[in-house]
Amino acid sequence: MTNTLDRRTLLRLAGASAGTAVLAGATLAGTAPAHADSAAFLHGVASGDPLPDGVLLWTRLTPTPDATPGSGVGPDVQVSWQVATDPDFATVVAQGSVPTGAARDHTVKVAVSGLAPATTYWYRFGHGDGWSPTGRTMTAPPVDAPVDRLRMGVVSCANWEAGYFSAYRRLADRGDLNLVVHLGDYLYEYGTGEFDAGGTVVRPVQPAHETLTLADYRVRHGLYKSDPDLRALHAALPWVITWDDHETANDAWSGGAENHTPATEGAWADRVAAARQAYQEWMPVRVGEDGAIYRRFRFGQLAELSMLDLRSYRSQQASGTAVDDPRRTITGDAQMAWLKQGLASSTARWKLVGNPVMMARVDVGALPAWLLGPLGTLLGVPQNGAVLNADQWDGYNADRNELVDHLRATGTRDVVFLTGDIHTSWANEVTTKSTGLFAPAAAEFVVPSVTSDNVNDFLKLPAGNGLSVLGASLIRSTNPHVKWTELDGHGYGVLEVTPQRCRMDWYHLADRTRRDSASRWVSGFSVGAGSAKLRRESAPSV
């Protein structure tokens, strides 16, 4: 029996039928097929990068007890895979077998094609007489399909030592999402105790030292995929992922990183190569032949999603008026050209941008130079005021101006940036000198960290403390384009896209240090079609 959902039902997320919702809940709770061999498939299953005719499938096999992640040992083996239209695999529509071994850390990635669009599928991997846990995935609708609704979980910044991944569990349990968008910092490179939960290690990392070698990064990836809540969300939905800095090292740029010392840690190029190889092995993501990870996905006529890489090509971070230097870039020339062309030529209603670091400017300590006029030049004020965080687009004003000016010159509307990185929650309108203060060119929704420290954690104060509240108030009062910000919560976002509007809802955890933490809705904002102005929303109806 097939279980194909028509595209309107699928993307309206009346989601799945009741039967599908029950299945998702069972899978997420760890239920496996009768002949599942959990000893061989310790790291679960995952899918990613959905296309109208296919999807990428992933798993890792542990063929012998000593073939642990990063060990470099274990036999070469064949792993079978199946895709079916029903959870019992009565109707298998695609299957095959692929080799794996220690050379790729016993990971398996299969790019399945020939599938039907806008369809729910179940998949599994086999070895010997056993099967992996079952995963559930969905293909994208046809490029020209009219789509009523798309709903996705949006996450970033999951630090193992700072807490449990209950945010992933809360998303997995919803049963009403089409996909997950992860905006980077899927894992962290630090050694134990170097970046924890406000001074407390909730659970120690492996390896215990900072990740530097290929074996180190493989061990760290394996640790992350030992988490049951992360595995549950991977098994429930396809993911679309990009990396930020911590997949390699803090505040990375094309030639180095803040958290890398060549004299004691070796060549930066060697570390990057090790981190990227492990990432490609362990993540359900398509990578170009040249190693490029920026790529684009289409969801019918409703939305197109461009995922950015803002680490591989960027200039080194700068300070002062150097942030205005047009020779400096955050995207690199080729990616900027790809992004501008893709946004301007897209026929989708909504142009979504998976953006690892914040796009909207944050003026601190002084008005922007373009409002101060000659006085700003005299005082040496950067174009957008004193920079609070030069690691985000504020440190690369020329690139931001180039992109915004292009949107205005081409009449490109309905652009929404989906952003992570800064561990806090924001609803922004994107403005520059060319737009003025009150004519935004795009909207931006910034999701909080899954676990990584934010303002109250650094201050070692409770959430909602007076300093955090005052800080948020000062940011809003000096930045009229920032419509809302909250500096303490950990959690996730849920983005709902319809032809009429694009809405983000923010959910914060009660306690990141508890595996069973509940979450609560804290705010919602939307942007209407044809406008970049944000509107506050009330809590969604259950």
DSSP 224-261: HTT-HHHHHHHHHSEEEE---STTT-TTEETTEETT--
| Residues 166-181 pLDDT 10s | 999 999 999 999 999 9
169 and 34 both lie in a single domain: no
310 vs 379, residue with greater confidence: 310
Within-domain flag for 326:
yes
Q: Note the pLDDT of residue 31.
A: 39
Q: Note the pLDDT of residue 149.
A: 98
Q: Helix or strand or coil: residue 16?
A: coil
Query: Mean per-residue pLDDT for 445-454?
Result: 97
Of 107, 138, 169, the domain-final residue: 138
361 and 494 both lie in a single domain: yes
Q: How far is CA 458 from CA 167, 190, 423, in A?
A: 21, 17, 12
Q: Is the pLDDT of residue 24 over 50?
A: no
**For residue 14, which of 224, 178, 163 has the smallest C-alpha distance?**
178
115 and 163 both lie in a single domain: no
160 and 44 both lie in a single domain: no
Backbone Cα Rg of the chain: 23
Q: Note the pLDDT of residue 247.
A: 98
- Alpha carbon distance 492, 499 (integer Å): 23
What angle separates helix 268-282 from helix 214-224, to the nearest 10 degrees? 40
Confidence grade of residue 29 (pLDDT, cut at 50, 70, 90): very low
Query: Mean per-residue pLDDT for 519-525?
Result: 98
Q: Which domain holds residue 331?
A: 150-537
Query: Mean per-residue pLDDT for 449-470?
Result: 91
Residue 363 bridge partners (DSSP): 387
Q: Note the pLDDT of residue 383.
A: 66
Q: Is the pLDDT of residue 380 over 80?
A: no
20 vs 445, residue with greater confidence: 445
12-16, 396-400, 437-441: least confident range: 12-16
Confidence grade of residue 541 (pLDDT, cut at 50, 70, 90): confident
293 and 232 both lie in a single domain: yes
Q: Helix or strand or coil: residue 341?
A: helix
Within-domain flag for 145:
no
- Alpha carbon distance 456, 453 (integer Å): 8
Q: Is the pLDDT of residue 278 over 70?
A: yes
CATH of the domain at 56: 2.60.40.380
- Alpha carbon distance 8, 148 (integer Å): 6
**For residue 142, which of 17, 46, 241, 11 has the smallest C-alpha distance?**
11
Give residue for tokens 């009062």.
477
Q: Note the pLDDT of residue 365.
A: 57
| Residues 113-148 pLDDT 10s | 999 999 999 999 999 989 999 999 999 999 999 999
280-289, 303-312, 401-410, 462-471: least confident range: 462-471
Q: Is the pLDDT of residue 30 over 60?
A: no
Other Cβ atoms closer than 10 A to 253: 19
Within-domain flag for 143:
no
Nearby residues of 340 by Cβ (< 8 Å), 6 or more positions away = 402, 403, 406
Q: Note the pLDDT of residue 471.
A: 87
Within-domain flag for 66:
yes
Q: How many domains does the chain divide into?
A: 2
For residue 299, report the phi and psi dihedrals to the nearest 5 degrees: -125, 75
Within-domain flag for 458:
yes
Q: Note the pLDDT of residue 363.
A: 80
Report whether 409 contacts 381 (CB < 8 A): no
Q: How far is CA 223 from CA 40, 193, 217, 359, in A?
A: 16, 16, 10, 32
492 and 360 both lie in a single domain: yes
- Alpha carbon distance 349, 369 (integer Å): 35
Looking at the chain, the whole-number percentage of residues with pLDDT higher than 90 is 80
Within-domain flag for 542:
no
Q: Where are the alpha helices (DSSP H) in 380-461?
A: 397-410, 455-459
End-to-end CA distance of the chain: 31
Q: Is the pLDDT of residue 370 over 70?
A: no
105 and 219 both lie in a single domain: no
Q: Note the pLDDT of residue 542.
A: 67
Confidence grade of residue 315 (pLDDT, cut at 50, 70, 90): very high
CATH of the domain at 321: 3.60.21.70
Within-domain flag for 157:
yes
Query: Mean per-residue pLDDT for 427-438?
Result: 91
473 and 497 both lie in a single domain: yes
Q: Note the pLDDT of residue 28.
A: 32
Residue 425 bridge partners (DSSP): 486
Confidence grade of residue 198 (pLDDT, cut at 50, 70, 90): confident
Query: Mean per-residue pLDDT for 321-344?
Result: 97
Confidence grade of residue 241 (pLDDT, cut at 50, 70, 90): very high
Task: Give the highest mean pLDDT range of 9-23, 34-48, 478-492.
Answer: 478-492
436 and 469 both lie in a single domain: yes
Nearby residues of 482 by Cβ (< 8 Å), 6 or more positions away = 360, 362, 426, 427, 428, 475, 476
Confidence grade of residue 204 (pLDDT, cut at 50, 70, 90): very high
For residue 186, report the phi and psi dihedrals to the nearest 5 degrees: -60, -35
Mean pLDDT of the chain: 90
110 and 212 both lie in a single domain: no
Structure tokens at 116: 């039907």
Other Cβ atoms closer than 10 A to 352: 28
Q: Is the pLDDT of residue 183 over 80?
A: yes
Of 138, 170, 190, the domain-final residue: 138
**Could you tell me how far CA 468 lies from the centroid of its own chain?**
25
185 and 272 both lie in a single domain: yes
Within-domain flag for 2:
no
Residue 521 bridge partners (DSSP): 507
Confidence grade of residue 289 (pLDDT, cut at 50, 70, 90): confident
Q: Note the pLDDT of residue 18.
A: 26
The DSSP output letter for 200 is B
Give 345: exposed, middle or buried? Use CB within 10 Å, 0-12, 13-18, 19+: exposed
Nearby residues of 338 by Cβ (< 8 Å), 6 or more positions away = 294
Q: Is the pLDDT of residue 32 over 50?
A: no
Nearby residues of 394 by Cβ (< 8 Å), 6 or more positions away = 323, 358, 361, 362, 384, 387, 388
- Alpha carbon distance 240, 228 (integer Å): 20
130 and 226 both lie in a single domain: no
Report whether 143 contacts 52 (CB < 8 A): yes
Of 138, 166, 181, the domain-final residue: 138
- Alpha carbon distance 448, 465 (integer Å): 17
Report whether 145 contacts 300 (CB < 8 A): yes
Q: Note the pLDDT of residue 368.
A: 57
Q: Is the pLDDT of residue 516 over 50?
A: yes
